[in-house]
């Protein structure tokens, strides 16, 4: 039989972590645009055709390249989705809508583990 030895909830740590991830993602995003390998060449070629036909404006991720073969495929939609995901999760942990709980169980009559060892 298992007994609950301890329980801890860490939503504040996760909220902070997600905020830092979002900040780093946004800060480094322009570097990704100039260093990443092509991700979806077919999609990029389709966008290049629309661009050449004057049916769309040049996406930001194409600004550093002259041809579609060298584009990363990371567009503004990709950036906004990740920014939204990080912010949404940060808010959910900060308001305790989401939580991260650590449960420590032990067997009954288990005297080998002290409380200090369990929490270390």
The count of domains in the chain is 2
| pLDDT score, position 49 | 80
| pLDDT score, position 73 | 58
Alpha helix ranges (H) inside 1-120: 11-35, 41-52, 76-94, 115-119
Do 17 and 44 fall into the same domain? Answer: no
Do 64 and 98 fall into the same domain? Answer: no
Do 31 and 44 fall into the same domain? Answer: no
| pLDDT score, position 69 | 46
Do 65 and 106 fall into the same domain? Answer: no
6 bridge partner residues: 104
pTM: predicted TM-score of the whole model, two decimal places: 0.58
Question: Phi, psi (5° rounding) for residue 8?
Answer: -140, 145
Do 27 and 42 fall into the same domain? Answer: no
Do 41 and 26 fall into the same domain? Answer: no
Q: Residue 12's domain spans which residues?
A: 1-36+75-120
Q: Return averaged pLDDT per consecutive 10 residues of the chain, 120 residues in all.
A: 90 95 92 65 72 74 50 71 96 94 87 62
| pLDDT score, position 88 | 97
């Amino acid at each position: 039989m298992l007994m609950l030895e301890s329980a801890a909830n860490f939503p504040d740590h996760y909220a902070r972590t997600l905020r830092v991830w979002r900040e780093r993602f946004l800060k480094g995003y322009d570097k990704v645009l100039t260093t990443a390998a092509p991700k979806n060449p077919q999609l990029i070629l389709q966008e290049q055709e629309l661009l050449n036909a004057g049916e769309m404006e040049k996406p930001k991720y194409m600004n550093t390249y002259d041809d579609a073969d060298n584009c990363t495929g990371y567009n503004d939609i990709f950036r906004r989705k990740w920014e939204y995901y990080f912010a949404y999760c940060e808010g959910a942990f900060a308001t305790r809508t989401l939580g991260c709980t650590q449960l420590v169980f032990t067997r009954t009559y288990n005297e080998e583990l002290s409380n200090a060892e369990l929490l270390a």
